[in-house]
Structure 1
Amino acid sequence: MNSVYVDLAIGLVIAFLLFSLLVSGINEGLVRILGIRSKFLWAYLRDTLDGADGKRSWIPSTVREVFARLPFGHRDARPKFDPMPPPAHSTATTWSGRLYERLREIDHSSAGRTSISFVPPGRFAVAMMEMTAAEGGVPAMLERLKQDGSPLYGPLKGVWDSAKDDVDTFRKGVEAWFDGEMQRLTVLYRKYVRWVIAALGLVLTLFFSMDSLEYGKAILSDNAVRAQVAATADGGAAALAGLRAKCPEHPADPYACVTEILAEPAFVKIVGSAPVSVVIPDNGNPRWIWNGGEWLSRLVSPGHWPGFLITFVALLFGGPFWWDILRRLTGIKIRPTETTP
């Protein structure tokens, strides 16, 4: 009996893991195609170096803006891609543009705007020191930032005062400050990503009409059929009556019915509830089948809603969580990577 519940738990965990990986994969694909990380970083850099110019920050502050402004907003803060090396004398009209001039060497975009989505704190500090040298020193740099109304003036002024006129200490302070800002920005980015993951999880749950309760029942049903087959094998011909009752369409050969049932496991049945599914017959080529009517009927049926809700909540935990649960249930151990001295 315990093995039945273990099979049920493993089946559910595997389903949640696969769907979570699918959600993560779609999210990562959208992030790369739309350049979300790069947009997010340069929106922050522009607001930090140049200010919002009396306008709202490009970084979204509401859930609606996460899906509207962040991927498709017309105020793209990313600088235009430039393959040229850093110029000796800056021609940029903004501080974020001057920063990009110092970061061109780590940009590998082939067209359009920059693809830089992460700036190492050490590299940012070096870029700031290069800009400082071009201004004639830290005091002159701070004065220029103050005149331009840059929000960067306050943090750098505090770092310079703490450094007590020591340039090397100032560089390390800028690096530490930017490292902290990147950590804060990462937390903010993950906060927005949660909403995207939730939206994708809801869409996939409804698209596949993944009813976890129905799926669990299907797993138990498969186990019951297997147990019936085992009992039949031990009981001889007299035990076939139970299988014939389960398979009225195959009265002469109930094993053919069992073969059909076990050849279509519970997970395949659940995935097959999508609007479009594929059927692989014994003979012939696979064919696509439109299940729109049945799929819509499942969506509007209140009996499936609790299962949909369980699936949606489960996907919010993410793939790493379900992978850890699967390892605990199955005893899978990952060997530590050996390092050579």
Structure 2
Amino acid sequence: MLGPTVDVAIGLVFTYLLFALLLSTVLEAAAGWFKLRAARLEQAFAQLIEHPEAVAEERNLVARWLSGLGHGSGTAKVDKAASTATLTPEEAEAATERASGDLGPSFELRHEDIYHHPLVGGGGSSRPSYVSAANFSSALLQALRAGASGQALAQVEESIDALPPGRLREALLTALNEAQGDWDKLKAGIERWYDGAMDRLSGQYKRYTQLITFILGLVLAVAFNVDTIRIVQRLYAEPTLRAAMVEQARKTVEAGAPEASKAGDLPAKAAAVEQARDDLLRNAPVGWTAPPTLTLAQLASVPGWLVTALAGMLGAPFWFDLLNKLINIRNAGPKPESGTDLAKGKGK
């Protein structure tokens, strides 16, 4: 029958909604505790600003550890070869020439020069989680002017010409050429480059956070025994449980879309995590009746935990919208045999 099937779907989606809220709340608390956004922004600055040799050195760090480099008298020579291994031919040639002194003096711009600028605010204990393109451009131009003498635009041109060959130098030269001597156009060009670069880095960060979200979701699914298969089985077998979850789901939809707490202080975030946990345990057929052990019966729940973790990645807004649609479908259909009067007066 359609009635019980829809009710089971409502109960399952409602469970996913509660689980996704718990997952997002825990992620928000973890981001605040470990300052993940601020750390990611500083890493993004390092990728944008560092010259090719520094970037290549970071790329090859793990490779050098695995191959046992870094020991013995020949380390410096081998490290230099490794540092140019992942560069473009032009960048590798420039790095070799610089090492032999053929290029003469160069202007090295480090990401700390921008990150610790007052307009960015990365100095001391303060670590920003967002920097506008306008502030970044102003900080970068001031750092470039510090490496040369003369008028402002001439200072910037001199510093850009002295930068080591690489993506940063090419991007700044492009902005400089397009500006054609106009300071405001140069600043606008740097802002466009910064926005585009941050969009690409944001994509990388999103893929990274998706992996973290899945791992954390799986941990929470196991910790609270949110087994999708077991939940469906119980909802089909227990009409009373099914009716209670449908009623609670209806009240949740009527109350409006719930959101994960974004409170700034850590105690508030911890309280939000506890509230989300209690909501899940109180309203859904989850949790452990006894301390978990590695028995064959419990290992059979692994597929259900995996499905729950994947469902949590879709986010609470997705599940709330789906829950709202299911509630509307249920209210538009015939009154179910459970004896509830949720659809009374709403049938077509």
Answer yes or no: same fold by TM over 0.5: yes
The one-letter code sitting in structure 2 at the alignment partner of 1:19 is: F
Partner of 1:157: 173
Distance change >3 Å, CA 299–CA 226, structure 1 → 2: closer
> Matched residues in 1 for 2:236 and 2:287: separation?
18
Match for residue 56 of structure 1?
58
Structure 2 counterparts to residues 174-253 of structure 1, below 5 A: 174-223=190-239
- CA gap of 1:300–1:220, structure 2 versus 1, over 3 A, is closer
Question: In structure 2, the residue corresponding to 1:107 is in which secondary structure?
Answer: coil
Q: 2 CA distance for matches of 1:58 and 1:323?
A: 45
Q: What SS does structure 2 have at the residue aligned with 1:117?
A: coil
Q: Distance in 1 between matches of 2:284 and 2:180?
A: 70
Q: Give the AA of the match of 1:317.
A: L
What's the TM-score once normalised by structure 2's chain length?
Answer: 0.60
Q: 1:128 to 1:106 in 2, by over 3 A?
A: closer
Q: Is 1:142–1:156's contact at 8 Å kept on the other side of the alignment?
A: no
Indicate the residue corresponding to 1:21 in structure 2.
Answer: 21
Answering whether residue 342 of structure 2 is matched by residue 327 of structure 1, we say: no
Alpha carbons 2:120, 2:135 under 8 Å: kept? no
Residue 321 of structure 1 aligns to which amino acid in structure 2?
A: F
1: CA distance, partners of 2:328 / 2:153: 58
1:243-322 paired onto structure 2 within 5 Å: 270-273=285-288, 291-292=290-291, 294-297=292-295, 300-302=298-300, 304-322=301-319
Deviation of residue 6 (structure 1)? 2.0
Is the radius of gyration larger for structure 1 or structure 2? 1
Q: Structure 2 counterpart of 1:272, which letter?
A: G
Whether the aligned pair in 2 keeps the contact of 1:15 and 1:267 (CA below 8 Å) is: no
With CA pairs under 8 Å and 6+ residues apart, which has the higher RCO, 1 or 2?
2
The amino acid that maps onto 2:121 is D
Runs of 5+ consecutive residues of structure 2 not aligned to the other structure: 64-107, 244-279, 330-348
Measured after TM superposition, the shift of residue 223 of structure 1 is 1.3
Cα distance in structure 2, aligned partners of 1:40 and 1:225: 44
Local SS of the residue matching 1:56:
helix
Name the counterpart of 1:253.
none
* 1:52-92 alpha-carbon deviations (Å, 9 max, x no partner): 5251159999xxxxxxxxxxxxxxxxxxxxxxxxxxxxxxx
**Contact 1:222–1:266 (CA<8 Å) still a contact in 2?**
no
**Mean Cα displacement is larger for which, 117-126 or 134-143?**
134-143
- Letter of the aligned partner of 1:163 in structure 2? A
Structure 2 match to 1:243: none
Give the 3-state SS of the residue equivalent to 1:157 in structure 2: helix
Letter in 1 for 2:135: R
TM-score when normalising by structure 1: 0.61
Give the structure 1 partner of residue 114 of structure 2.
99
* 1:118 correspondence with 2:130: yes
Q: Secondary structure at the match of 2:181?
A: coil
Q: Is the 8 A contact 2:179 2:185 kept in 1?
A: yes
SS in 1 for 2:128: coil
The alignment covers a number of residue pairs equal to 243
Q: Supply the distance in 2 between the matched residues of 1:226 and 1:132 (Cα, whole angstroms).
A: 66
> In structure 2, do the counterparts of structure 1 residues 201 and 183 end up closer, same or farther at CA, with 3 Å as the change threshold?
same
Q: CA deviation at 1:315?
A: 2.1
Q: How far apart, CA to CA, are the structure 1 residues paired with 2:215 and 2:305?
A: 14
Q: 1:188 is aligned with what amino acid? A: Q
DSSP-derived class of the 1:210 partner: coil
C-alpha contact (below 8 Å) 2:227/2:304 kept by paired residues: yes
- How far, CA to CA, are the matches of 1:167 and 1:223 in structure 2? 72
What code does the residue aligned with 1:311 have? T
